[in-house]
Copies of this chain bind each other. A is one copy, B any other.
Amino acid sequence: MEFSEKQLEILHVAEKLFATSGFDGTSVRDIAHEAQVNVAMINYYFGSKDKLLDDLFTYRVEKFKMDESILQLTIPVMDILDEMVKSYIKYMNSSLAIYHILAIEAGVKKRLMLSDSYKNLKKHNLNVISSILQKGVDAGEFRSGNDPILIHATMMGTFMNFQMNRSFLKSELNLTTDEEYSQYMESTLVIHLQRTIKALLTYEY
């Protein structure tokens, strides 16, 4: 799907506002005002508020697909794992708005959950993780029997927890700006997750 420049602006504004105030908490008027367009234009361009959310999701969903080419890299599987975690967090962090929306609205049953592209995204990412695990088991580096679902939930859940408790954690971690917070996630949090997953995969009980 192709979006005009105005449409893109609307999408970006909507993304920000949905992330800040939720879908129901954001009015079409708010979006129109912030995007400096006519109220009617949102419906003119997207048909309805619901379809705007759909389009926003479609527009952003590609970003969250894990890059499966890392599987082909001729580097130790441990490094592939590290790379995967790092990229995933980095991508999510770079468009945290849509992820925030996704996390919030996915819970409210009626909406995105039903979306096929959402399911496909999830399945794709689980497959990538699954392949890495298999590669590690084959190389004798990982214990077998680990569930990619649990790995993914740990990685993504921990990240989301940081997103959703931003203001509390910011003060708790003495991080003053959003940039610092962002850097924290891309460094400290990434390392934590890399260590956590690695420990889990190699730990002997």
Contact = CB atoms under 8 A, between A and B. Distances in A.
A162 interface: yes
Interface residues of A, number: 50
Contact of A110 (B21, B110, B150, B196): B21
Contacts of A73: none
Interface in A16-72: 20-25
List the number of copies, as a whole number: 4
A158 interface: yes
Interface stretch (A7-15, A83-91, A131-139, A163-171): A163-171
A6 interface: no
Interface in A173-194: 173, 188-189, 192
Interface string A100-122: 10011011111001000011001
A60 to B, nearest CB: 17
Among all A-B residue pairs, the 6 with the closest Cβ atoms: A24-B24, A157-B161, A157-B157, A199-B203, A199-B199, A157-B158
Interface of A: 20-25, 100, 103-104, 106-110, 113, 118-119, 122, 126, 147, 149-150, 153-154, 156-165, 167-169, 172-173, 188-189, 192, 195-196, 198-200, 202-203, 205
